[in-house]
Structure 1
Amino acid sequence: MSLSKRICVSASVLMLFAGAASAGVPVAQADRLVRDLTPMGAERAGNADGSIPAWEGGLAGVPKNVSWMPGTGHYKNPFAEDQVLVTISNENAGTHEAFLTPGQRAMLATYPNYKLNVYPSRRSCALPEAVYEAVMKNAVTGSLGGNGDTLSGVLRGIPFPIPSSANEIVWNHNLRYRGYKVSRTFVSAAPTREGNFTPIKVQDDLVFDYSSPGIASINELNNTSFRYLQETISPARRAGQLLLVHETFDPAIGERRSWQYTTGRTDSSPRVQRTSAINYDTPQIYSDAMSTADSFDVFSGPLDRFDWTVAGRGERYIAYNSYELSSPAHKYADIIKPGHINQDLVRYEKHRVWIVEATLKPTQRHVYSRRTAYFDEDGYNMVAGELYDARGGLWRVQEAHLMQYYDVPACFNASDVVYDLVEGRYVVQNLKNEESGINFNASHLNDMMFVPEELRRRITRR
């Protein structure tokens, strides 16, 4: 659908709610989503010097300049001809200070060969028309209550395209569109300081219930935003480990529900255990204790242990259109290097971001006393972050590598990394270069696969 037709359709959706909005923003304000804002609430216009272009619909289909077949699981780079505009090192970082995050500045100062290759900015993010229409409805009917954890009047698209608080921005990230039924195989690795690593291969399946095309109200979801099933494939000592998670909207109604089975138990009968430990600052599986459960997907889970505030909006260099880093032409050994991943493979672009600060509540506990999060305006993906220890020192740096999956279409991180500045190490997750890629049409997934009994069935089949 052309941009002009999309504006007409979106305007029609808004007219349906004229005079009926009791929550969200007024229809007159939501009308900006078909005027000067994109359907996701970003600025349609570029910036003053042209280094950030106007949004013209993004890559909402397979680009004409790539030969690509559906079902391949990997995505060819439509911007392969782009050249590096500037390479930022510690020596010239001061010239680019205004567009660097503190985390990037720390990485440049810590590692002599760390750099950022900056390319032309491409606003490639695009979503299905049905999702845009849902976002339009959410804009005028959505509300956030309680302590920022109770959602109503929203479904399928980001809840708050014109956010009025930091909590709404973070909820946009947590509930952004990533398909409906998705299956993938990926690798995580936590290399030593010397760069040695053992790849942890995982098969996982996801049903994003919030994005279900058959649901008419968030109330039908039983406080469940998505269901996640993970099985470890290798190495042999970990093979067969299972994890099932039901993510919730409101922790006041019920906390995240999770079950796990761990191999190598010494008791006589293997057991699937219900656990509440896969949450908040519990060390993330396979991260070698360098990342927390709520840093999965850069950030996930409830917001209730922190006070969230908007620190502003600004232009930053962020990892974007990460087709080269995700290419099957590169082996994991090409990517995973001592200290940090291979920066020659990471593409940075200048984009506008929301900057959000989170401070630990006095009544709560967490290994992080403070965290800063950066959200891309075009898709509300969290693209970078800084994590601070109990004394307020910068401890860890997060980076997500965004990519437009143009056949879906959907825009989110293809991989992500957490750098531990104290350990001098890092963990990188969701690499799929040597795997079969990602399947956005996993229609074989059904409700019976996302219950504890499925874990028990898998155990007994071995």
Structure 2
Amino acid sequence: MRNPIVAGIAVAVLGLSGAVFAKVSPEEAAKLGDELTPVGAVRAANASGTIPEWTGGLKAAPASWKKGDIETNPFPEDEPLFIITKANVHLYKDKLSDGHLKMLQEYGPEFFIPVYETRRTAAYPEHVYEKLKENALTAELLDNGNGVSDAIMTSPFPIPQNGLEAIWNHILRYRGTEVAFRSASATPQTDGSYNPVVNDYQYYIAYSKKGAKLEEIDNKIFYLKTNTVAPAALAGTITLVHETLDQIRSPRLAWRYDSGSRRLRRSPNLAYETDLPNSSSLRSVDQKDMYNGAPNQYDWELKGKRELFVPYNAYRLHDAEVRPDDVIRPRHINQSLARYELHRVWVVEAKRRVGISHIYDRRVFYIDEDSWQILASEEYDDKGNLWRVSEAHNISFYSEPVFWTTMEMTYDLKAKRYYIDGLDNGYKPYDFSPGFRSAEFTASAARRDARR
């Protein structure tokens, strides 16, 4: 690993063999909100000052935004400090992931990385910060790391001791308690032509509800219902997912309704390496949200921290005036709309376990220290070749203080194509208080929705 900031933390998690790691001590937990941020990041600036001190994140929406609007750019005057290209990449290699180095090499000069001033905007509600400290004192991995006990609402391990704890921090990070939005996905051809698939999303996040207790949420992290509204051939397709906390004891439950058969069927294979629906086989199911589901197919290693140029504060991609045609280009997105900043990230490597079948032999994840959001990842094939590079472009939302993706993409270096999700441009803003009830996310409720 090149230029690690924290090398001594690296801990291999090889199967765990039923072991449970100890909770952090009260003395360690006391660092949260002090020398560490409430989320567990280093509060201080880096030595050169290119990463500033965290001072609470984006505490208030900019004056340009009003409730009910799409999030506006809080930094409209910012211009790139410099632009990394294929020609000058040698000057910045120590701050670039292997995936971005490969993208610059393969797709330059059209693919470039505009680097802006670092803004540590990630912030969460105070009650989430309180739970993070409580979780640090109580949370434990279940046998073989296939679930988490004694944690609720948000990331369980703000001071992680191994790779599994870090990946569970991403899986369980706070994203509000419910949200509804419409967005499109696409798989552009090599010439840039595409046919978007538009979905309505409804999330009910039981794990994060204020006052929720583990024994009351029935092993559920969240409920998700999607309804396809375009194109006409797919319109009316409904997918229902019950995401479970311990997916080995109680695997993910999923159902799918298509208008052709007019039946709601269980989807037992909607997990792991299965092709993500409507992704043209460019992305697996467990790449949705950068990584999701049970981590039992890999051995996880926490490699430490690095300072990297990563996607951040993607307000231009989220802009109300931007349309998919402005974003989509052949082979990769319009990089002039992207924003990268220098941030400290946790590096987690996942190696496929012996005897397991998965299309990816090895994966590397770069996780934001300020939010536990995976910002970028690399996926390798059986021969050890870099196959796919994934990015998550994120913003801090205003109506609910969460740091979450506005757009994700997976670049397939073999097919020279990519999958893009989160094309929410032109639609209403995310609604973080739609008033859902868990009863609206049952199989019978999905059948009733299908008949309307």
1:60 is displaced (CA, Å) by: 2.3
Residues 1:25 and 2:16 aligned together:
no
| Equivalent position amino acid for 1:51 in 2 | T
1:221 is displaced (CA, Å) by: 1.6
Partner of 1:328: 320
- Within the candidate set 198, 203, 207, 1:206 is matched to 203
SS at match of 1:383: strand
Measure, in 2, the Cα distance between the counterparts of 1:38 and 1:381: 15
Residues 1:342 and 2:334 aligned together:
yes
1:182 is displaced (CA, Å) by: 0.4
Runs of 4+ in structure 1 deviating by more than 4 angstroms, as ranges, are none
| Equivalent position amino acid for 1:303 in 2 | P
Measure, in 2, the Cα distance between the counterparts of 1:205 and 1:106: 36
Measure, in 1, the Cα distance between the counterparts of 2:133 and 2:292: 24
Residues 1:249 and 2:245 aligned together:
yes
Partner of 2:60: 61
1:35 is displaced (CA, Å) by: 1.7
Measure, in 1, the Cα distance between the counterparts of 2:307 and 2:384: 25
For the 8 Å contact 2:238–2:257, the answer to whether it is kept is: yes
| Equivalent position amino acid for 2:311 in 1 | A
SS at match of 2:52: coil
Residues 1:110 and 2:106 aligned together:
yes
SS at match of 1:324: helix
- Within the candidate set 268, 274, 279, 1:276 is matched to 268
Partner of 2:309: 317
- Within the candidate set 244, 257, 263, 1:261 is matched to 257
- Within the candidate set 74, 77, 101, 2:97 is matched to 101
1:23 is displaced (CA, Å) by: 5.3
Residues 1:43 and 2:35 aligned together:
no
1:437 is displaced (CA, Å) by: 2.3
Partner of 1:9: none
| Equivalent position amino acid for 2:147 in 1 | T
Measure, in 2, the Cα distance between the counterparts of 1:221 and 1:192: 43
Q: CA RMSD in A?
A: 1.1
Partner of 1:218: 214
SS at match of 1:33: coil
How many residue pairs match? The answer is: 431
Partner of 1:17: none
SS at match of 2:317: coil
Same amino acid, percent of matched pairs: 38
Q: What do residues 37-56 of structure 1 show as CA deviations (whole Å, max 9, x unaligned)?
A: 00000000010111100000
Partner of 2:153: 156
- Within the candidate set 220, 228, 231, 1:232 is matched to 228
Measure, in 2, the Cα distance between the counterparts of 1:124 and 1:308: 28
SS at match of 1:339: coil
- Within the candidate set 187, 198, 209, 2:184 is matched to 187
Measure, in 1, the Cα distance between the counterparts of 2:242 and 2:252: 6
| Equivalent position amino acid for 1:29 in 2 | E
Gaps spanning 5+ residues in structure 1: where?
1-21
1:71 is displaced (CA, Å) by: 2.1
For the 8 Å contact 1:23–1:140, the answer to whether it is kept is: no
- Within the candidate set 434, 447, 450, 1:456 is matched to 447
SS at match of 1:206: strand
In the superposition, the TM-score normalised over structure 1's length comes to: 0.92
Gaps spanning 5+ residues in structure 2: where?
1-20
Deviates more, 1:107-116 or 1:145-154: 145-154
Measure, in 2, the Cα distance between the counterparts of 1:207 and 1:459: 19
Partner of 2:167: 170
Aligned positions of 1:73-84 closer than 5 A = 74-84=70-80
For the 8 Å contact 2:201–2:224, the answer to whether it is kept is: yes
Q: What do residues 261-282 of structure 1 show as CA deviations (whole Å, max 9, x unaligned)?
A: 12334xxxx2110121110010
